[in-house]
Amino acid sequence: MADKNIAKQAKRLKIRRRIRRKVLGTAERPRLTIYRSLNQVYAQIVDDVKGATLAHSSSLAEALRGQKESGKTSISKRVGLELAKLAKSKGISKVVFDRNGLRYHGRVKAVAEGAREGGLEF
């Protein structure tokens, strides 16, 4: 079982490296990247040229703690909406989406849909 998990992680790392060769965040169009743990989801907007995080949000954020929503997918959508709101306040409207080697479904898709509903284009 441990060998299977190691192989899965190595495969995801390989996919992640391939994506990062092609996807680059600039000042005009920063990169929206997602990290998904077992229980939480984290999203940030990064300018790779400067090496700076411009905005970030997670399921642990203060703004999302008081919500009555249940289910990881609905909380992930709220993370996307919150991130879009923060980005809009900083003048960011267009981003490049980096799914970080994760499949585009479930919580990753929910964050992307929430960000689009919030007004981000990618």
Average pLDDT, the chain: 91
- Residue 65 scores a pLDDT above 80: no
Residues 6+ apart with CB under 8 A from 87: 45, 54, 55, 93, 95, 115, 118, 120
DSSP letter, residue 71 = S
What confidence tens digit (pLDDT) does each residue in 76-90 have? 999 999 999 999 999
Q: What is the CATH architecture assignment of 2-117? A: 2-Layer Sandwich (3.30)
- As a whole number, mean pLDDT of residues 59-83 equals 87
**Among residues of the chain, what percentage have pLDDT more than 90?**
64
Question: 115 forms bridges with which residues in the sheet?
Answer: none
In this prediction, residue 1 has a pLDDT band, given cuts at 50, 70 and 90, of: low
What confidence tens digit (pLDDT) does each residue in 4-55 have? 888 988 998 898 899 888 888 888 899 999 999 999 999 999 999 999 999 9
What's residue 57's pLDDT? 95
What's residue 86's pLDDT? 95
Angle between helices 107-117 and 72-89 (to 10 degrees): 40
- Residue 66 scores a pLDDT above 90: no
Query: What's the rounded Cα separation, in Å, for the pair 88 and 118?
Result: 8
Contacts by 45-48, CB closer than 8 A, 24 or more apart: 45/83, 45/87, 45/92, 45/95, 48/24
In the chain, where are the structural domains located? Answer: 2-117
